[in-house]
Amino acid sequence: MRIEEDVKLDYADVLFRPKRSTLSSRKDVELKRTYKFKYSNHQWSGIPLIAANMDGVGEIEVAKNLAKFEIMTCLTKQHDLKTIKRNSSVKGIHQHLILSTGTSAEDYKRLNEIMKECSFFEFICIDIANGYSDHFSKFVGSVREKYPTKTIIAGNVVTADMTQELVMNGADIVKVGIGPGSVCTTRLQTGVGYPQLSAVIECADAAHGLGAHIIADGGCTCPGDVAKAFGGGGDFVMLGGMFAGHEEGGGKKVKKNGSQLIEFYGSSSNTAITKHYGGLSDYRSSEGKKVQLKYRGKIKDTVQNILGGLRSSCTYVGAPSLKQLSKCTTFVRVNQQYNDTFGQE
């Protein structure tokens, strides 16, 4: 047994130190980024936020609305060829869409079917809860071999060694986060995890050293956390809970005590596994939960709120663009990030 003594941080453990700035207005802050990916050589431009591949979030209706802001959506694994072909608008927004897949033979078959007929998809996200298995790295390698010009995202991991391993096996982008998610119970169920800001800082450093990129996935609860994820070196930030509960997600609405609520659940929750796979096998337990959120209306208002927060963060630290944010970032460690006397809005 070994204990690592150095402190690892979550978003709530730090704040940005404000810095002098010559920016006159937050409206001048450029949030768009352009990335060229290591293996695919594909160039992407847009605002590097991603709606997570979770039910009620990674949906085509959400994607259509986020694409207007040049924000990406990672479609859930339940989007098969039939569903995609039925939605003629998909092709028009393909540059902001990501297909996701697991690593089973059935997943691989579904991926190949879609890619054969809809070769316009540029991004493939190979997504499993625990990205540390040898089988996973090998799977990433075989997808890279089959699709040399597609941008491959692989995850999830939280350490530099495994980020490098996935990049060496063909990932252009590594997805980072184990346990920080809003409806994730992995940390309770297994005791496994890594504070998300430190995971982002360490994995970004590892990926950037090899010319690859990372996605900071999970754990953002407010626009300030999104800014901290970029400040820590995240190239993209993936949001589940912050993009959940909106009209476009199509989630089940319920009325309770006069207010309208909407269901949201983790991809490894009992609810999701029963819905998509007919129930949990007897050797595994659920690692996600179901919650009821206040219905939040149209997603565009939430997006504008997040982008407004991000522009303001950049202005406070003197970054003329999102690209400059991590260079301009000095975090201060704090014991309390927010005065909670009257709760949150």
Least gap, CB of 18 to ligand 5GP (angstroms): 26
Long-range Cβ pairs for the range 99-102 (8 Å, 24+): 99/75, 99/123, 99/124, 99/125, 100/53, 100/58, 100/74, 100/75, 100/76, 100/124, 100/125, 100/126, 100/127, 101/77, 101/125, 101/126, 101/127, 102/77, 102/126, 102/127, 102/128
CB closer to ligand 5GP, 237 vs 317: 237
CB closer to ligand 5GP, 23 vs 280: 280
Least gap, CB of 96 to ligand 5GP (angstroms): 17
Least gap, CB of 278 to ligand 5GP (angstroms): 17
> Within 10 A of 42 (CB to CB), how many other CB atoms are there?
16
Q: Maximum Cα–Cα distance for the chain, whole Å?
A: 60
CB closer to ligand 5GP, 70 vs 217: 217
Instruction: Outline where DSSP puts E strands in the chain.
Output: 14-16, 33-36, 43-46, 49-51, 72-74, 97-101, 123-127, 151-157, 173-176, 213-217, 236-239, 253-256, 259-265, 290-294, 331-333
CB closer to ligand 5GP, 40 vs 268: 268
The end-to-end CA distance of the chain, in Å, is: 44
Least gap, CB of 238 to ligand 5GP (angstroms): 5
Least gap, CB of 66 to ligand 5GP (angstroms): 14
Token pair 């991991």: residue: 157
DSSP result, 160-220 = HHHHHHHHHTT-SEEEE-SS--TTB-HHHHH-----HHHHHHHHHHHHHHTT-EEEEES--
Bridging pattern class, strands 290-294 and 259-265:
antiparallel
Residue nearest to ligand 5GP (CB): 288
Cis omega (within 30 of 0) for bond into 156: yes
Query: How many helices (H) and strands (E) would you count in the chain?
Result: 11, 15
Angle among Cα 224, 264, 216 to the nearest 5 degrees reads: 35
Least gap, CB of 275 to ligand 5GP (angstroms): 12
- Catalytic sites, residue numbers: 184
Query: Across-strand partners of 100?
Result: 125
The footprint of ligand 5GP (CB under 6 A) covers: 52, 54, 129, 156, 177, 181-184, 186, 217-220, 238-242, 266-269, 287-288
CB closer to ligand 5GP, 14 vs 215: 215
CB closer to ligand 5GP, 251 vs 315: 251
CB closer to ligand 5GP, 52 vs 203: 52
Least gap, CB of 155 to ligand 5GP (angstroms): 8
